[in-house]
Structure 1
């Protein structure tokens, strides 16, 4: 069964895209823990990030890195943190988190943000790429 991320890649579920190429997709988390919380995924469905072959793994992180300057221009933050958890969705992914303190990396807290606000934020991030 296709993961929710594969359904996003295939256009079956809408998302607020930040960046995309033939191999990867970056989009805003629908249930963010901080403003600008971005998910970066390989389009190829592989559950466990450490099952990615070395070349794909490296390119995933380089693709994620390419998004950071736009996040920093758009969302005031000290740094953009990166987290790999991989339990909620069986599809390899990394979280990019604009953070100002360790409290910003608490996955137990979710922001309340509308789809319209997410769409506007995604457009701002894309314009800063």
Structure 2
């Protein structure tokens, strides 16, 4: 099985998996995360399968950050967080992605809501966050698109 067939982000790009699109152009897409650390958390991905963000060509990485900044301003209008964060952590889906995160607490940037203690050791897993319904994600995406259009 090819990487693109195994990669959920490549499947979204191909139209084989659903996503509540907030932004798209010829090179990138942005959509809400299935497991939201905070409402409005977005993934910005290149359409091309690139495993790690450090391998994204500079011009594409720059474009992703510029779009993430625009999305951050829209998210700030919709969700009124204390701060906006951009995260590239390298884990999760093996396809380069930039996370745009409305922050209400300092630990949001390190996904503190993912933390749990097991046998006295702090561990992290998104499995502790609920999967949002397609309807919830569509509603969030619509609010963000409206704020983007108003900017």
Contact 1:34 1:110 in 2 (8 A): no
Partners of 1:126 and 1:111 lie apart in 2 by: 23
Distance 1:47 1:82, change over 3 A: same
Structure with bigger helix share is 2
TM-score (norm 1): 0.92
Contact 1:33 1:111 in 2 (8 A): no
Task: Identify which of 23, 30, 53 aligns with 2:27.
Answer: 23
Question: Aligned to 1:16, what secondary structure does the other structure show?
Answer: coil
TM-score (norm 2): 0.79
- Give 1:115 shift: 2.3
- Deviation by residue 1:90-112 (Cα, 9 ceiling, x = unmatched): 11001111012113232615256
Partners of 1:33 and 1:117 lie apart in 2 by: 14
- Give 1:51 shift: 0.8
**Structure 1: 5+ residue stretches without partners:** none
Aligned to 1:68: 72
- Deviation by residue 1:59-102 (Cα, 9 ceiling, x = unmatched): 11112112111111111201211111121111100111101211
Aligned to 1:114: 133
1:80 aligns with 2:73: no
Q: Which moved more, 1:38-47 or 1:78-87?
A: 78-87
**Structure 2: 5+ residue stretches without partners:** 115-127
Contact 2:20 2:141 in 1 (8 A): yes
Partners of 2:130 and 2:76 lie apart in 1 by: 19
Aligned to 2:124: none
Partners of 1:102 and 1:4 lie apart in 2 by: 29
- Give 1:30 shift: 0.8
Aligned to 2:120: none
Aligned to 2:121: none
